[in-house]
Chain A
């Protein structure tokens, strides 16, 4: 079945450091890929998405590129801030979906803490 594997956490970085959170997936067909973020005490929020190979999703300084050859969708940010501290989830839908409003398969999440 479909699955998403994320980098084990927690991850602790200093402010302005470079961030990479690894995500790889297993799925048949042409999945769409997503990153969701969960801030403390809040619900999940869509951070960015990509619906086909070589697409790059970006938002709030975060980027991720859909790599079909390596089945990966790694999250990156050039300079993190304390406000980026949250739990990040990689997810996919089996079919091409602009918005993931079908069934989402999530990874286990990566807790990120940024220290000043």
Chain B
């Protein structure tokens, strides 16, 4: 089975720009969660999508937004980038409902904002 894949693996942006990060869920999974992991810190929950609807949000401003597509892949969009947005962004997919499964994490996208 194909695991969770994220793209790109690394990118560099300038303060004020916008960025889109992409995530392909593991086959059969219907839920995607996004986490931000700053250097030396634990992951922080950004939001979760279930069946294309936002299903929970952490303490992040509205400039962090997302989408989930009918094939359950997902995007994380960040507008008006700030230096503090520099972090590893982790996507995790899972199956909710009958036969629910643990979270499966991707390897992350390393975002650097200069």
Give me the interface of A with B, judged by CB distance under 8 Å.
4, 41-46, 49, 89, 91, 98-109
Contact of A103 among B58, B90, B100 (CB under 8 A): B58
Residue pairs across A and B with Cβ atoms less than 8 A apart, 7 shown, are A43-B90, A43-B107, A44-B43, A46-B102, A99-B100, A99-B101, A109-B42
Cβ distance A95 to chain B, nearest Cβ, rounded Å: 11
Who on chain A is nearest to B3 by CB? Answer: A43
CB neighbours (8 Å) of A42 from chain B are 107
CB neighbours (8 Å) of B61 from chain A are none
A31 CA / B42 CA spacing, docked (Å): 18
A89 CA / B90 CA spacing, docked (Å): 14
Contact of B42 among A45, A89, A103 (CB under 8 A): A89
A108 CA / B41 CA spacing, docked (Å): 5
CB neighbours (8 Å) of B106 from chain A are 43
CB neighbours (8 Å) of B31 from chain A are 101
**A43-B4, A107-B42, A108-B40 known; A100 vs B103 contact (CB < 8 Å):** yes
Hey, what's the 0/1 contact readout for B61-92 against A, CB within 8 Å counting as 1? 00000000000000000000000000000101
Contact of B96 among A44, A89, A101, A105 (CB under 8 A): A101
Who on chain A is nearest to B91 by CB? Answer: A43
**B107 to A103, Cβ gap below 8 A?**
no
**A43-B4, A43-B105, A102-B56 known; A108 vs B42 contact (CB < 8 Å):** yes
Cβ distance B68 to chain A, nearest Cβ, rounded Å: 14
Cβ distance B37 to chain A, nearest Cβ, rounded Å: 8
**B102 to A100, Cβ gap below 8 A?**
yes
Contact of B94 among A45, A89, A101, A107 (CB under 8 A): A101
A4, A44, A89, A102: most-surrounded residue (chain B CB, <10 A): A44
CB neighbours (8 Å) of B90 from chain A are 43-44
CB neighbours (8 Å) of B103 from chain A are 44, 46, 99-101, 104
CB neighbours (8 Å) of A106 from chain B are 42-44
